Structure 1
Amino acid sequence: MQRIVVCGLSNRALEMFINPIITKFSHENEIVGLLDNDEKRVDLCKERFPELAFLPSYTPQQFSQMVNETNATTVIVTSRDDTHVDYILQGLEHDLHIISEKPMVTTSFDAKRVMEAEAKSKGTVHVAFNYRYSPFHRKIKELILSGKIGRITSIDLNWYIDTYHGASYFKRWNRMREFSGGLSVHKSTHHFDLVNWWIDQKPEQVFAYGALNYYGKDGELNPSPVDHRFCGTCTEKHACGYYMRWNNRTDSSAVKDDHIKFEEKQNYTNYRPDACIFDHEIEIEDTYVATVKYDRGALLSYSINFSLPYEGYRLAINGTEGRIETQEFHELSRVPFPVPEQTIDYYPLFGSKETIHVIQTEGGHGGGDPIIQEDLFLGVDPARPYEILAGAEAGAYSIAVGEAVWKSSLENKPINMKELLENVTPKHKA
């Protein structure tokens, strides 16, 4: 029986972890404590889940007290990104099992601290990289392992975030690098981890460019240079091209959203998810292009844009014996055109193209969430012939690549992984 404490009662904590633990995995797992710096979040969590109404709750300063009083064995970390490291390190000091939401931490320095602490601890760290668990992403891994495309030589990955979703990162704390590491860490770690896992090679060097094009004070749709506005109270919102793209003058329209609509209703203490996307304080990039060199010869060409008309990605993986291609477009209500069903195309170097229709499953993130939840709360599926649950080393390399992307764009030079993660021997293979 895992005795679980949850650090950070975010929407992610409630829906991705607490809800399935209570409804699906309660025979093997028990939530015994809650920790957050906002009593409002604790109250709302207990209202949402009456089963937790009488659980003790704690502040961030009471972590050790919480562990001792609850006899916890497992810590789920779903707080703001920059605070992950605090709970992970304290949990490892107590020899606990850590389940961290991505990104594991926000800097390569903290990633090194986590790996060093894990090496000294009886505890372990797992990172909830649910993108790995999508049926399409697992099938790509299986195709590569089968040897169908030979030795991997290059990867092209272009990720598209539509403007509505993209703006959500600039309305909240994510827009401050000190809190999120920037979007090359907060968001792109998902993508870098996928590539690292697919090809089973370690990144060595990164060269990148980044820019802030759509958001921030110079955004072309900014109605005026006034700062510190919030959409809910802004007197200029009807003159704002961005706001009026998604709303009408009586604010009676609604757009499907899976990131901030929940938060807008909660009225958390000192928290606003509707800050102006054109504020002067915005300091992170919304556009990246990067090249990553790997230790066994593969080269990644990556791009991501947070202000596009639609959402999805295009992927190609080339090898000495063939090529894999796939593309995904999210079918959300804000995409006003039909999108093709996702398939995987396999092209042998010599021979006929094969189109693979993947069996899809229900659940968030393309059906990946229920499968990773089983691995986290029932134990890794022993019938699966390859490793998929990510550890601290995988978390560290994904963060290091993301940090290298913005450092390279800032310094206009290649960044070596050894500079960011040198002299660390991981406890577990990721």
Structure 2
Amino acid sequence: MMKKYAVCGVSKRAIGMFIKPMLETFSDTSELVGLLDNDAKRFSVCKQQFPEVEHVHEYDESQFEQMILDTKPDVIIVTGRDDTHINYILQALVHDLDVITEKPMATTAEDCKRIMDAELSSKGKVTVTFNYRYSPFHTKIKEQILEGKIGRITSIDLNWYIDTYHGSSYFQRWNRLRKFSGGLSIHKSSHHFDLVNWWIGQKPVEVFAFGALNYYGPDSELNPKSKEEDGFYCGTCKVRDHCDYYSRWNSRSDNIMVKDDHIDSSTRKTEVYTNYRPDQCVFDSEIEIEDTYTATVKYDKGALLSYSINFSLPYEGYRLAINGTKGRIETTEYHEPTRVPFPFPEQTIDYYPLFGSKETIHVVKREGGHGGGDPVLQEDLFLGINPVRPYNILSGSEDGAYAIAMGEAVWKSANENRPITIESLLNPSSVAT
């Protein structure tokens, strides 16, 4: 059956993850009927890449109702800046429309509760695109757990590493302000929290965390300029050759290497979008989010998670161990191999029974973004959930809400130096009474 889609937030992610496959792979079942954004330049970028959507109607961010009236979509795809998700999701649900939203679903647990309440009174359904679930390594881990290989899960160790290329990009753009991103424990770590929640099939109950700003901001020991100076941009900075973050990823002849989820990486030496610079100084005083977290999470069925993330490291990837009453699963990933500055081993999954011989699993890999997860997620979105798969994988609003509540609990616990319950964030009225 043909479905009509309208996109709110014409970002690079929107173009690559949703619009491109709609046109090239799922054109028999999918039609793009509307584009909504606050910057007309984004429409031009999209239509330059895909001239076949030249006819698609364009709408300003204030024209959601008009877009619905004109185009009569079946599904709204939400892919703008994180803080804009809530408005488009709620408006879509009022019109009984299905929603596909990029993670994070919202930037606060309070807004997640609003979405879940709105969904209860709507015919529409919210789907959150947690694509990490779909990586072949991650689905294999899920299958091992479902097979009972490690028994009842007791603890999880997950240490995530973001390299200086990727990590610094968050501090060069809108993510550096909590009002836009919710902080990196929400924007980035919600991915990881959802993955753990899905793997173990348990719900988080309580979080205690520490956080710090160690690498970025004016007080960083890596800051090559005076702490009092603000408003610098990499493209015009006079001391950029003394900045390790710039020098590591750019040659002296470069003007600027754009690192941004919303701008094509081939775009250089230009400001592509209106009033938008992805090369703000990573040492500005307005930076208010953390770049380092450690957290302990208690789950409703007894599992304990030990989690850490660092946004300024020599390589990118993660180390994972899941322990149970029958054994242990381990794996290490080195992400973005072209940016790893040393030889690294191929990823495998090691299974250690509590009493027995170790098994090493070589997972069949797939092409595509997020470790081969994106193409499979797209099939579930545009063709319907794979009926052969024996377990649930596509995320809904509750999944999105728990992941974001965990992220909010992390930064609040770090700031307030106390444990935070998930219930107090997602259902504060019940806690108060």
1:248 aligns with 2:251: yes
The one-letter amino acid paired with 1:245 is R
Identify which of 333, 358, 365 aligns with 2:338: 333
Superposed, 1:251-262 pairs within 5 Å as: 251=254, 261-262=265-266
- 2:212 aligns to what? 211
Residues 33-83 of structure 1: CA distance to partner in whole angstroms, max 9, x if unpaired? 000000111111111111110111111111011011101110000000000
Are the counterparts in 2 of residues 168 and 259 from structure 1 also a CA contact under 8 Å?
Answer: no
- 1:362 aligns to what? 367
Are the counterparts in 2 of residues 255 and 333 from structure 1 also a CA contact under 8 Å?
Answer: no
CA separation of 1:254 and 1:282: change in aligned 2, threshold 3 A? closer
In 2, Cα distance between equivalents of 1:289 and 1:331:
23
SS at 2:63 equivalent: helix
Residues 361-390 of structure 1: CA distance to partner in whole angstroms, max 9, x if unpaired? 110110000000000000000000000000
After TM superposition, give the deviation of residue 263 of structure 1 in Å.
5.8
SS at 2:374 equivalent: helix
Residues 157-205 of structure 1: CA distance to partner in whole angstroms, max 9, x if unpaired? 0000001110000000011000000000000000000000000100000
1:233 aligns with 2:215: no
Are the counterparts in 1 of residues 102 and 129 from structure 2 also a CA contact under 8 Å?
Answer: yes
In 2, Cα distance between equivalents of 1:256 and 1:410:
29
SS at 1:118 equivalent: helix
- 1:299 aligns to what? 304
Identify which of 405, 410, 413 aligns with 1:405: 410
- Bigger mean CA offset, 27-36 vs 248-257: 248-257
CA separation of 1:116 and 1:31: change in aligned 2, threshold 3 A? same
Identify which of 310, 314, 332 aligns with 1:309: 314
Superposed, 1:132-171 pairs within 5 Å as: 132-171=133-172
Identify which of 383, 391, 399 aligns with 2:388: 383
- 2:193 aligns to what? 192
1:110 aligns with 2:111: yes
Are the counterparts in 2 of residues 46 and 52 from structure 1 also a CA contact under 8 Å?
Answer: yes
CA separation of 1:410 and 1:76: change in aligned 2, threshold 3 A? same
Q: Percent of counterpart pairs with the same letter?
A: 68
In 2, Cα distance between equivalents of 1:3 and 1:424:
39
CA separation of 1:153 and 1:142: change in aligned 2, threshold 3 A? same
In 2, Cα distance between equivalents of 1:423 and 1:247:
48
Are the counterparts in 1 of residues 271 and 277 from structure 2 also a CA contact under 8 Å?
Answer: no
Are the counterparts in 1 of residues 232 and 281 from structure 2 also a CA contact under 8 Å?
Answer: yes
After TM superposition, give the deviation of residue 251 of structure 1 in Å.
2.0
Identify which of 385, 388, 393 aligns with 2:398: 393
In 1, Cα distance between equivalents of 2:316 and 2:408:
24
- 1:13 aligns to what? 14
Are the counterparts in 1 of residues 193 and 406 from structure 2 also a CA contact under 8 Å?
Answer: yes
In 1, Cα distance between equivalents of 2:246 and 2:71:
46
Are the counterparts in 1 of residues 260 and 278 from structure 2 also a CA contact under 8 Å?
Answer: no
- 1:322 aligns to what? 327
Question: Where does the alignment leave 5 or more consecutive residues of structure 2 unmatched?
Answer: none
SS at 1:313 equivalent: strand
Are the counterparts in 2 of residues 11 and 263 from structure 1 also a CA contact under 8 Å?
Answer: no
After TM superposition, give the deviation of residue 338 of structure 1 in Å.
1.2
In 1, Cα distance between equivalents of 2:429 and 2:315:
40
After TM superposition, give the deviation of residue 266 of structure 1 in Å.
6.0
In 2, Cα distance between equivalents of 1:252 and 1:411:
41
CA separation of 1:218 and 1:8: change in aligned 2, threshold 3 A? same
After TM superposition, give the deviation of residue 234 of structure 1 in Å.
1.1
Give the number of aligned pairs.
425
After TM superposition, give the deviation of residue 249 of structure 1 in Å.
2.4
TM-score (norm 1): 0.96
Residues 13-52 of structure 1: CA distance to partner in whole angstroms, max 9, x if unpaired? 0101110110000100100000000011111111111111
Are the counterparts in 1 of residues 258 and 279 from structure 2 also a CA contact under 8 Å?
Answer: no
In 2, Cα distance between equivalents of 1:262 and 1:141:
36
Are the counterparts in 2 of residues 7 and 75 from structure 1 also a CA contact under 8 Å?
Answer: yes
Are the counterparts in 2 of residues 263 and 273 from structure 1 also a CA contact under 8 Å?
Answer: no
After TM superposition, give the deviation of residue 245 of structure 1 in Å.
2.4
In 2, Cα distance between equivalents of 1:163 and 1:244:
11
The one-letter amino acid paired with 1:9 is V
In 2, Cα distance between equivalents of 1:254 and 1:79:
22
1:348 aligns with 2:363: no
After TM superposition, give the deviation of residue 241 of structure 1 in Å.
2.8
After TM superposition, give the deviation of residue 86 of structure 1 in Å.
0.3
Are the counterparts in 1 of residues 207 and 420 from structure 2 also a CA contact under 8 Å?
Answer: yes
In 1, Cα distance between equivalents of 2:258 and 2:119:
43
In 2, Cα distance between equivalents of 1:215 and 1:259:
22
Residues 78-128 of structure 1: CA distance to partner in whole angstroms, max 9, x if unpaired? 000000000000000000010000000000000000000000000000000
Runs of 4+ in 1 over 3 A off after TM superposition: 252-260, 262-266
Identify which of 292, 314, 319 aligns with 1:287: 292
Are the counterparts in 2 of residues 11 and 262 from structure 1 also a CA contact under 8 Å?
Answer: no
In 2, Cα distance between equivalents of 1:241 and 1:65:
48
Question: Where does the alignment leave 5 or more consecutive residues of structure 1 unmatched?
Answer: 426-430
After TM superposition, give the deviation of residue 259 of structure 1 in Å.
7.3
CA separation of 1:83 and 1:393: change in aligned 2, threshold 3 A? same
